[in-house]
Structure 1
Amino acid sequence: MSSNGQQRSAIHPGLVVDIVLKQDQATGKTTRGVVKDLLTKSPNHPHGIKVRLQSGEVGRIKAIVSGDSKP
């Protein structure tokens, strides 16, 4: 299983991930959050699967941090 966020099958709601927001693409700055929705429909994407975090932020996954966000 790939943990770099390019395979849609590896991504699901509740996953803790690092994403790059659209405005941060030039710098590569990442934002950590919990996946709410998967926005990319294709099974994989070379720049990372696009997701919406629970915070409402949208970006492409750069890294999967951990399985599920458990309190």
Structure 2
Amino acid sequence: MNPVEKDILARKNEIILEIRAVFKANMKITSWDVPEADDQLAGELIVNIMQEALDKLKEELQEGNFSNS
């Protein structure tokens, strides 16, 4: 395993927690903005948007159009 793989795998749980935190923050914002919100629907919509963002990042990475700067 190379150093990059070791580094990323060592931070795997942290990365997962950060993703969950973004989801929870958006759920909370929805409940503030729409107190009667359907949590299931809100969660599905948020996950769909997050997936779109991940798909776009993956596409950029595969095209070589992603840098750390």
**Class of the TM-score when normalised by the shorter of the 2 chains:** under 0.3
Structure number, greater radius of gyration: 2
Where relative contact order (Cα < 8 A, 6+ residues apart) is larger, the structure is 1
In terms of fraction of residues, the more helix-rich structure is 2
In terms of fraction of residues, the more strand-rich structure is 1
TM value normalised by structure 1: 0.19
